[in-house]
Amino acid sequence: MASLTSSLSTRNWSYNVFASFHGPDVRKTLLSHMREQFNVNGITMYNDQKMVRSEEIAPSLTNGIRESRIAIVILSKKYASSSWCLDELVEILECKKSMGQIVMTIFYGVEPSDVRKQTGEFGIAFEDTCEHKTKEAKQKWIKALTNVSNIAGEDFLRWLVFIFL
C-alpha cells in the first residue's frame, strides 16, 4: 500500500478531478457551481463540453478518467439512463482498483439503496438502458453500481437541509 500511496502522490496528473454525471440532471446546477469553485481554488477539472457524443465511450473521455487524481461520481435519478455514464463508472472503478484513484460519491436526489439495488426511479432508468444490452454488460453495470453505492458519500439533498437549518 505504501508504494501505491507514494506513486499516487508523485504521479503527474493532467486533472485533479473527473466528474461522472448525467448532464441534464446536474450540468447547470450542482456541476456548474462545483466547476466554478474548483476554478477559483486552482483545481483542474476535466471538461467534456466539446466532446462529440457517439454510441461508445470516447477515447478522450477514457483518458480524462485515467488522467484524473480524483473521480467524483454524481449519482442522480437519471444517471443510469445513460450507457455512457455506466461505462464511465466501470472505468472509474477499474482505475480505483488498478491505480488507486480516489473515488467520491454524491447522491443527488437519489437514495444510495436505490443505486445499490437498482430500484425506484433509478432502477426504472437502469432497466430501460439495459433493455437492448447484453447480459454481460448489465451484470458489469450492476456490479459497478453496487460497488459505488457502498462508497461513503454525500446525500446532496440532506446536506442542503443541514446547511439551511
**Catalytic residue ranges:** 88
Exposure of 116 by Cβ count < 10 A (0-12 exposed, 13-18 middle, 19+ buried)?
Answer: middle
* 70-to-100, 136, 160 alpha-carbon distances in Å: 9, 27, 23
Tell which residue, 89, 95, 71, has the closest CA to residue 126: 89
